[in-house]
Amino acid sequence: MDVIYREKDHEFWQKYLDDFVPAEIYDMHTHLWTEKGQEDFPPDGNPLRLEIDLDAMKKFSENCYPNRKCHFQLLGTPARGMNVRNHNRFLAEEGAKDPESITAMIVTPETDPAEVDEGFTSGKFQSVKPYRVFAPDPAYARITEYLPEKLLEVIDHHKKAVVLHLSIPQGADSELNQKDLQDLTKRYPNVKFVLAHCARAFNANFLVNSIHVLKYIPNLYYDTSAVNDLYTHYLLLKHEDRTRIMFGSDNVAAGGTHGKYITYADAWQFYPGAPKLEHCPSYVVPVIYEQLLQQKRAADMLDFSADDIDRLFRKSAQEFIRSLRKNL
């Protein structure tokens, strides 16, 4: 994986992004990983298994967002076959190092509700991170197939949050996902559901219609991580309550990789760039810079004020975090 910060990246930042990103950032979608405690989980070629602790995250962020103050929502890196308990211990240790950041524990359908209860009661965790790879069919999983109701009951009791990456190929445009979100937010009204990746709308086609359903569902929030589609950011910022939208990067393993998520038809995929182009420069920048550039353009199209930008990068996240912590 190409996550080394380059001089060309800094030049791109200075030219296109330095005048947009505010002085303080809450990055609400970042991933940590360590191989420590995973000795029984052999290497499987997963590029997300990149050694990143909080210190490494801070160092990368200092390069990525020069002269900005950064705090985070620290997520684990979900991988089928991993030792979840050991990984959650690592996350708790790292999260304790920054009192202004929050940490999400990895949960699976096999997670004991008592573990989640203890994680919240102790203050180690303020949210959970389920993931579709833990479902029997990761590509077509309903929400409760990877986030069972036995865990939602505990999350609801403690009034905490879920960072949710939707399954099913149509994402938020799936009637099944819409139905599940409408139902689960009614039955568990104290749970804050954060729909990762702009409701997984890497391709704006999945948000064009669904945004007009999602915006009426209570207790939904969004992070903007890794979405490189301009129209997705525009749709979300134009039609949603902006207090429900928070900046996220998917750093480091995904957001820090050089390249871009491109879209076509009803698809998207990672594109690493061309090695050489004769008609224009061929260098590539990290995915997070492609994302920030689209967010900047969407903000310009919507005549964002400095206060609007500050809310996107800081204020909404701070309010969200305060609402979780008051329930300790």
Q: Is 260 exposed, middle or buried (0-12, 13-18, 19+ CB in 10 A)?
A: buried
Q: Is the pTM of this model over 0.95?
A: yes
Q: Determine the pLDDT at residue 285.
A: 97
Cα separation of 105 and 119, whole Å?
A: 8
Cα separation of 196 and 31, whole Å?
A: 13
Q: Determine the pLDDT at residue 296.
A: 98
Of 247, 184, 179, which is closest to residue 213 (Cα–Cα)? 179
SS3 call for 170: coil
Strand partners, 269: 262
Q: How far is CA 111 from the centre of its chain?
A: 21
Mean pLDDT of 312-321: 98
Cα separation of 167 and 265, whole Å?
A: 19
Mean pLDDT of 89-114: 98
Strand partners, 25: 70
Mean pLDDT of 31-44: 95
**Least confident window among 25-34, 40-49, 170-179, 205-214:** 40-49
Q: Does residue 35 carry a pLDDT above 80? A: yes
Mean pLDDT of the chain: 97
Contact 230, 259 (CB under 8 A): no
Q: Does residue 154 carry a pLDDT above 80? A: yes
Q: Determine the pLDDT at residue 1.
A: 57
Of the chain, the end-to-end C-alpha distance in Å amounts to 39
Q: For residue 326, name the pLDDT band (cuts at 50, 70, 90).
A: confident
Query: For 7-325, CATH number?
Result: 3.20.20.140
Q: Determine the pLDDT at residue 328.
A: 61
Encoded tokens for 8: 């060309």
Mean pLDDT of 206-228: 98
Q: For residue 183, name the pLDDT band (cuts at 50, 70, 90).
A: very high
pLDDT per residue over 261-300, tens digit each? 999 999 999 999 999 999 999 999 999 999 999 999 999 9
Q: Determine the pLDDT at residue 29.
A: 98
Cα separation of 74 and 76, whole Å?
A: 7
**Eight-class DSSP state of 101:** S
Strand partners, 128: 105, 162
Q: Determine the pLDDT at residue 327.
A: 67
Every domain of the chain and the residues it spans: 7-325
Mean pLDDT of 56-74: 97
Q: Determine the pLDDT at residue 3.
A: 78
Q: Does residue 218 carry a pLDDT above 90? A: yes
Of 208, 236, 221, 124, which is closest to residue 163 (Cα–Cα)? 221
Mean pLDDT of 104-124: 98
Q: Determine the pLDDT at residue 45.
A: 87
The 102-106 sheet, strands edge to edge: 24-31, 69-75, 102-106, 127-129, 161-164, 192-195, 220-223, 245-246
